[in-house]
């Protein structure tokens, strides 16, 4: 939690522009030496292959708690694969991932699910379940197959539904909702899970601009710790401006390789964005907030 | 995503494997030619006879095998594409069962019709069955799930009706089982010519329909937005597929499995785009049937085949499919869920109580009501006490079996996320049948104890095979279904072979197939009741897994659920339930399919109430079926499983039909 300020402060010398970031960009020697606590996530040479093809080149990263990380990059750059590895949906082909200092292999299923919640990119049909029933599934890691669905479970479900603005829909069948409402229902499931870390694969792809802002605001609030524990979020976003606005740091992948990693505002440089997306891009200041806004040239 | 350059070596290797199989077919055919029976007599006559045998029997037979296999393969590929369901095939739509029922009916009531045109009769039956299925799904725009559920229901009903007729008029129609199992014995070129011309037209139609077919692979909305008239196009493609399959059925009988397996093999061999599958499936189908037929001819010594070719296809293709399953590419077409729940019960608990009460009332009614020699009668007092000895065990067995099947069906459907996954699909029932057949072949007069043991052993064997295959593939729902179906095909092939021998065991086997509770005694009833309670008790404990599993492995894993363990435990439970009840009510009762569908359509939301409601509905259906089976044709007994299929089927179809108006 303390890392937040230090992390940015730790790299004041970060030069804007041409510098290519080393693969271990986050391994800031100052920060890690000073930090008494182990990083939340630590990846060592994590890679992934399918049938001999490299989907993810070995990469090493350390991510700290209480921050919002945005995974950006063009389609097919390995973002979803990386997120699935973190979510234990895929075993890494090479290397090792540690969460809270413990290797992912050693985590038990439910214990891990209490700490980390994952939302897949494509939400499966839910066959007639109501919103409330779907959100209540998020409590499985806590009560297990046989445990009682207790007062605490009810409270968490209630607050998750309220938080995502689904109170009016809670008895509707999930499949009958619009795409955006459905996406929020799945977000509510993750909130009910009560995990300290959320992994989100394009949580706003089906939302209109107002609901996008709403969901991203929820994510920001979670991280700021308005309610209880401060959460960490790793989110894949396609809209670079939204990503820059929401995230503390951006991690850019291209062709399965880590191409850049740094504080969000510093990533908003024309050259850097061009290197990520392979497209000439420009950056201007937001007329009101003054924050950088990117556009395609 | 897939890199073609790296996929190619696999494709080449698989291509070589198919080449090797083609060589195998050639070798088998050569061996058949070489080992033609020696004819005695004047050399000139022998040569003439030999020529006749060669050109009018052996060569046309090979041609028929190749053409029929190709037609079935193409038909299956078209159906799987258009219904977006990897387990759809010509028999799923009721073509085969309809044709068989038509022939049985004709043989029993109007033999002249069969003498006039066997092919015509069968063709009419197949087309009528499909026409009915189409008419039923018309209102829902031929939505894939509805089409297949209606087709399977109809084909199980037709199968039950055929079995009843055969039981009633055995002498006349028993020979049909040989036809029913698909025989390629030829006298002339006519079947080859008929199938050949129709195949040519079918190929032409498929080529013309290729582009719309590509688009139909999307969901309906996507296809419609691209300007495809979804309903009409689907109807057209299905018509072509049916026409191909019905031609084959009417010429050479029911040859299942090729239509299912050929497209599956094509996909396993790396065919991805619809055009590739449509090209590869007929070739593979032709090869499959050719090899199977060659093996049959070699195995039989001159006069008549040992087993019909259709049965042999199942015997050869089943293991092949089982072996290939772990190698099936992962991106199978997504299964479409049933189109939303139409309505939800506000108080499922109260509805459950109502169901329970209704089942109880039906049970009491079945106990006291019945027919005696004077007509309908209510039993009471001492008469009731006397009758109860006979009636009570049947009632208990029917309720227990129905409950088990209903619960097994609900579990299977939740587990696989496939609305067609009845317990019949696991292959366990067929396994039990094979065990029975083995016992009856060895000892036609075997006692009940031996039969129960044998069928349990068969069921267990089938279960172990399905679970091992599924375990190799991480218990993915699609693999589980395909493994079950492959095993079921093999089991039914073996059963058909036993039927075709027409030995004394056949009738007992047939009686079991159609399902009857009249052999249930007090001990069996007690056993069933205890077993049902033991197997149903853990269901409420597993219900959270049942809620999570249909959402897929990714969601299960991220919630920390032990996905593989859960799937293993649930399939084991469902298989045990099926095996136990199948021994008493046969493998074709439809109850495992009806229970969950009726529960869903009645508005029971997923969860505990859903499984319990499905079990109760299953119990009620079998109870009523058993009562009807006992009373309708008094003093004769009708088979219970058959009655269940006959009353449950129409109700299911009516419900599906009614649900059409209010989607989502």
3-state secondary structure B135-149: HHHHHHCCCHHHHHH
Per-residue pLDDT of chain A (297 residues; tens, 9 = 90+): 334 433 433 333 333 333 333 333 333 444 433 344 678 999 999 999 887 788 899 999 999 888 899 999 888 888 999 999 999 888 898 999 999 989 998 998 889 999 999 988 777 777 678 888 889 989 999 988 888 888 999 999 999 999 888 888 888 888 788 878 888 899 899 999 988 899 999 888 878 888 888 888 888 887 776 555 678 999 999 888 989 988 999 999 998 899 989 998 888 888 888 888 888 888 898 888 888 888 888
Query: Which of A104, A118, A125, A178 is the best residue to mutate to test the B interface, defined by the most B CB atoms within 10 Å of its own CB?
Result: A125
pLDDT for res A234: 94
Residues 128-167 of chain A whose Cβ lies under 8 A from any Cβ of chain B: 128-130, 133, 137-138, 140-141, 144-146
- Are residues B466 and B575 in contact, defined by beta-carbon separation less than 8 angstroms? yes
Confidence of residue B272 (pLDDT cuts 50, 70, 90): confident
Domain ranges for chain B, please list them: 4-327, 352-658
pLDDT for res B332: 42
Other C-beta atoms closer than 10 Å to the C-beta of B503 total: 14
Beta bridge partners of A94: A47
pLDDT for res A82: 93
CB of B6 within 8 Å of a chain A CB? The answer is yes
Equal fold, B4-327 vs B352-658: yes
The answer to which of A99-113, B284-298, B319-333, B375-389 has the lowest mean pLDDT is B319-333
Note down the domain range covering A56.
3-296
Evaluated on CA atoms B392, B395, B400, B401, the torsion sign reads positive
Closest CB from B2, B340, B545 relative to A175: B340
**3-class SS at B420?**
coil
CA atoms within 13 A on the CB side of B296: 30
**CB spacing of A138 vs B600 below 8 angstroms:** no
How many degrees, rounded to 5, is the angle at CA B585 between CA B355 and CA B495? 145
Confidence of residue B245 (pLDDT cuts 50, 70, 90): confident
pLDDT tens string B528-557: 899 899 999 988 888 888 888 888 788 888
Task: Collect all residues of chain A within an 8 Å Cβ-Cβ radius of residue B7.
Answer: 51
Most confident range, picked from A142-151, A154-163, B438-447, B509-518 = A154-163
Task: Collect all residues of chain B within an 8 Å Cβ-Cβ radius of residue A181.
Answer: none
Q: What is the mean pLDDT of residues B8-29?
A: 73
**CB spacing of B551 vs A111 below 8 angstroms:** no
- Is the domain covering B352-658 a CATH 1.10.3470.10 domain? yes
- What's the full length of chain B, in residues? 664
Q: What is the mean pLDDT of residues B11-28?
A: 77
Any alpha helices (H) in B176-257, and if so which ranges?
176-180, 190-208, 210-216, 220-225, 230-252
Smallest CA–CA distance, residue B137 to chain A, in Å, is 20
Evaluated on CA atoms B490, B492, B497, B503, the torsion sign reads positive
Evaluated on CA atoms B611, B615, B616, B620, the torsion sign reads positive
On the question of pLDDT at B205 being above 60, the answer is yes
**B103 vs B90: CA distance, rounded Å:** 18
Evaluated on CA atoms B582, B588, B590, B592, the torsion sign reads positive
pLDDT for res B336: 43
On the question of pLDDT at B142 being above 70, the answer is no
Report which DSSP code applies to A167.
G
- Are residues A26 and A59 in contact, defined by beta-carbon separation less than 8 angstroms? no
Q: Which CATH number does the domain housing residue A219 bear?
A: 3.40.50.300
Tell me what percent of the residues of chain B surpass a pLDDT of 70.
Answer: 76
Q: What is the mean pLDDT of residues B350-370?
A: 86
**B146 vs B652: CA distance, rounded Å:** 11
CATH number of B4-327: 1.10.3470.10
Report which DSSP code applies to A38.
P
CB pairs under 8 A between A and B: 97
Task: Collect all residues of chain A within an 8 Å Cβ-Cβ radius of residue B560.
Answer: 108-114, 140-141
CA separation (Å) from B192 to B56, B196, B364, B603?
11, 6, 58, 51
Other C-beta atoms closer than 10 Å to the C-beta of A37 total: 12
The answer to which of B410-424, B455-469, B623-637 has the lowest mean pLDDT is B410-424
**B269 vs B1: CA distance, rounded Å:** 18
Domain count, chain A: 1
CB of B227 within 8 Å of a chain A CB? The answer is no
Smallest CA–CA distance, residue A185 to chain B, in Å, is 14
Smallest CA–CA distance, residue A190 to chain B, in Å, is 9
Residues 402-461 of chain B whose Cβ lies under 8 A from any Cβ of chain A: 417
pLDDT tens string B60-104: 888 888 999 999 999 999 888 887 766 677 777 778 778 878 888
Most confident range, picked from A264-268, B588-592, B631-635 = A264-268
CB of A172 within 8 Å of a chain B CB? The answer is no
Helix axes B381-416, B348-368, angle to 10 degrees: 140
CB of B560 within 8 Å of a chain A CB? The answer is yes
Residues 75-114 of chain A whose Cβ lies under 8 A from any Cβ of chain B: 76, 87-89, 108-114
CB of B299 within 8 Å of a chain A CB? The answer is no
CB neighbour class for A283 (10 Å; exposed up to 12, middle 13-18, buried from 19)? middle
- b/e for B622-659, b at 16 or more Cβ within 10 A? bbbbbbbbbeeeeeebbbbbbbbbbbbbeebbebbbeb
pLDDT for res A58: 92
**A245 vs A264: CA distance, rounded Å:** 8
pLDDT for res A81: 92
Task: Collect all residues of chain A within an 8 Å Cβ-Cβ radius of residue B559.
Answer: 113, 137-138, 140-141, 193
The answer to which of A252-256, A260-264, B327-331, B577-581 has the lowest mean pLDDT is B327-331
CB of A173 within 8 Å of a chain B CB? The answer is yes
Evaluated on CA atoms B633, B635, B639, B641, the torsion sign reads positive
Smallest CA–CA distance, residue B544 to chain A, in Å, is 6
Residues 576-635 of chain B whose Cβ lies under 8 A from any Cβ of chain A: 600, 605-607
* B367, B368, B372, B374: CA torsion to nearest 10: -160
Tell me what percent of the residues of chain B surpass a pLDDT of 90.
Answer: 6
CB neighbour class for B156 (10 Å; exposed up to 12, middle 13-18, buried from 19)? buried
pLDDT for res B269: 78
**CB spacing of B560 vs A52 below 8 angstroms:** no
CB neighbour class for B387 (10 Å; exposed up to 12, middle 13-18, buried from 19)? middle
- b/e for B364-385, b at 16 or more Cβ within 10 A? eebbeebeeeeeeeebeeeeee
pLDDT tens string B477-486: 666 767 777 7
pLDDT for res B663: 36
Residues 324-383 of chain B whose Cβ lies under 8 A from any Cβ of chain A: 337-338, 340-341, 344
**CB spacing of B559 vs A133 below 8 angstroms:** no
**CB spacing of B557 vs A51 below 8 angstroms:** no
Mean pLDDT of chain B, nearest integer: 77
Other C-beta atoms closer than 10 Å to the C-beta of B401 total: 35
Confidence of residue B650 (pLDDT cuts 50, 70, 90): confident
Smallest CA–CA distance, residue B188 to chain A, in Å, is 51
On the question of pLDDT at B240 being above 80, the answer is yes
pLDDT for res A11: 37
pLDDT for res B175: 57
**CB spacing of B560 vs A110 below 8 angstroms:** yes
CB of B9 within 8 Å of a chain A CB? The answer is no
How many degrees, rounded to 5, is the angle at CA B207 between CA B202 and CA B208? 95
pLDDT for res A236: 93
């Amino acid at each position: 939690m303390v890392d937040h300020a230090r992390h940015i402060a730790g790299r004041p010398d970060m030069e804007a522009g041409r510098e290519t970031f080393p693969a271990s960009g986050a391994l800031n020697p100052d920060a890690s030496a000073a930090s008494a606590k182990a990083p939340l996530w630590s990846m060592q040479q994590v890679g992934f292959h399918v049938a001999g093809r490299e989907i993810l080149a070995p990469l090493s990263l350390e991510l700290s708690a209480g921050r919002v990380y945005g995974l950006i990059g063009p389609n097919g750059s390995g973002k979803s694969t990386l997120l699935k590895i973190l979510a234990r949906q895929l075993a890494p082909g090479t290397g090792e991932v540690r969460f809270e200092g413990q290797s992912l292999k050693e985590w038990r299923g439910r214990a891990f699910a209490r700490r980390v919640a994952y939302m897949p990119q494509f939400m499966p049909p839910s066959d007639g379940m109501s919103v409330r029933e779907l959100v209540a599934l998020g409590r499985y890691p806590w009560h297990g197959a046989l445990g009682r669905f207790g007062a605490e479970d009810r409270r968490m479900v209630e607050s998750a539904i309220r938080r995502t603005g689904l109170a009016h829909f809670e008895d509707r069948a999930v499949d009958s909702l619009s795409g955006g409402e459905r996406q929020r229902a799945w977000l509510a499931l993750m909130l009910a899970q009560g995990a300290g870390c959320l992994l989100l694969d394009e949580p706003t792809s089906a939302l209109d601009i107002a609901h996008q802002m709403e969901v991203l605001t929820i994510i920001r609030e979670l991280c700021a710790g308005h309610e209880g524990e401060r959460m960490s979020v790793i989110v894949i976003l396609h809209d670079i401006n939204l990503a820059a606005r929401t995230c503390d740091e951006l991690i850019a992948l291209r062709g399965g390789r880590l191409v850049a990693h740094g504080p969000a505002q510093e990533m908003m440089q024309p050259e850097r964005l061009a290197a990520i997306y392979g497209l000439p891009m420009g950056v201007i200041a937001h007329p009101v907030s003054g924050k950088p806004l990117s556009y395609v040239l | 995503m897939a890199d073609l350059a790296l996929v190619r070596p696999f494709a080449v290797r698989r291509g070589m494997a198919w080449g090797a199989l083609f060589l195998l077919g050639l070798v088998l055919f050569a061996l058949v030619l070489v080992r033609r029976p020696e004819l005695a007599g004047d050399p000139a006559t022998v040569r003439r006879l030999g020529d006749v045998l060669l050109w009018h029997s052996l060569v046309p037979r090979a041609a028929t095998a190749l053409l029929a296999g190709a037609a079935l393969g193409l038909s299956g590929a078209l159906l799987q594409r258009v219904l977006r369901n990897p387990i759809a095939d010509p028999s799923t739509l009721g073509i085969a069962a309809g044709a068989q029922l038509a022939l049985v009916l004709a043989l029993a009531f109007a033999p002249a019709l069969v003498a006039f045109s066997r092919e015509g009769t069968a063709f009419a039956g197949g087309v009528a069955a499909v026409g009915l299925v189409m008419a039923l799904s018309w209102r829902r725009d031929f939505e894939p799930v509805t089409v297949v559920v209606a087709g399977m229901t109809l084909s199980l009903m037709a199968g039950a009706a055929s079995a009843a007729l055969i039981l009633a008029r055995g002498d006349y129609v028993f020979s049909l089982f040989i036809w029913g199992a698909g025989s390629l014995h030829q006298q002339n070129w006519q079947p080859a010519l008929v199938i050949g011309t129709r195949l040519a037209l079918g190929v032409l139609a498929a080529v013309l329909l290729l582009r719309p077919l590509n688009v139909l692979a999307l969901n309906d909305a996507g296809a419609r937005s691209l300007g495809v008239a979804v309903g009409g196009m689907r109807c057209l493609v299905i018509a072509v597929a049916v026409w191909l399959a019905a031609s084959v059925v009417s010429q050479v009988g029911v040859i299942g499995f090729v239509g299912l397996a050929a497209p599956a093999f094509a996909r396993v061999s790396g065919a991805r785009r619809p055009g590739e599958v449509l090209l590869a499936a007929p070739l593979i189908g032709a090869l499959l049937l050719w090899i199977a037929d060659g093996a049959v001819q070699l195995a039989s010594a001159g006069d008549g085949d040992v087993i019909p070719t259709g049965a042999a296809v199942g015997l050869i293709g089943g293991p092949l499919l089982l072996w290939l399953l772990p190698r099936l590419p992962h991106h199978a077409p997504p299964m479409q869920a049933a189109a939303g729940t139409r309505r939800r019960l506000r108080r499922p608990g109260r509805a459950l109580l109502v169901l329970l009460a209704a089942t109880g009332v039906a049970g009491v009614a079945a106990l006291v009501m019945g027919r005696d020699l004077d007509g309908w009668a209510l039993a009471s007092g001492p008469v009731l006490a006397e009758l109860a000895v006979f009636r009570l065990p049947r009632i208990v067995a029917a309720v227990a079996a129905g409950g088990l099947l209903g619960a097994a069906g609900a579990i299977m459907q939740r587990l696989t996320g496939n609305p067609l996954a009845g317990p019949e699909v696991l292959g366990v029932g067929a396994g039990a049948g094979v065990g029975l057949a083995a016992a009856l072949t060895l000892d036609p007069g075997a006692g009940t104890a031996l039969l129960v043991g044998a069928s349990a052993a068969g069921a267990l064997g089938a279960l172990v095979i399905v679970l091992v295959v599924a375990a190799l593939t991480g218990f993915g729902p699609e693999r589980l279904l395909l493994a079950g179906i492959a095993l079921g095909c093999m089991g039914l092939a073996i059963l058909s072979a036993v039927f075709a021998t027409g030995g004394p065991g056949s009738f007992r086997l047939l009686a079991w197939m159609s399902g009857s509770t009249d052999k249930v005694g007090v001990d069996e009833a007690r056993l069933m009741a205890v077993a049902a309670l033991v197997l149903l008790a853990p269901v409420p404990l597993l219900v959270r897994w049942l809620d999570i599993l249909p959402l897929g492995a990714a969601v299960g894993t991220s919630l920390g659920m032990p996905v593989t363990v859960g799937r293993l435990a649930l399939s084991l439970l469902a298989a045990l339930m099926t095996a136990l009840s199948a021994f008493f009510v046969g493998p074709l009762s439809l109850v495992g399919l009806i229970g969950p569908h009726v529960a869903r359509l009645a508005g029971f939301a997923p969860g505990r109430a859903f499984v319990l409601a499905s079990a109760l509905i299953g119990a009620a259906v079998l109870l009523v079926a058993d009562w009807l089976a006992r009373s309708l044709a008094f003093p004769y007994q009708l088979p219970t499983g058959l009655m269940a299929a006959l009353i449950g089927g129409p109700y299911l179809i009516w419900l599906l039909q009614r649900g059409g108006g209010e989607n989502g």
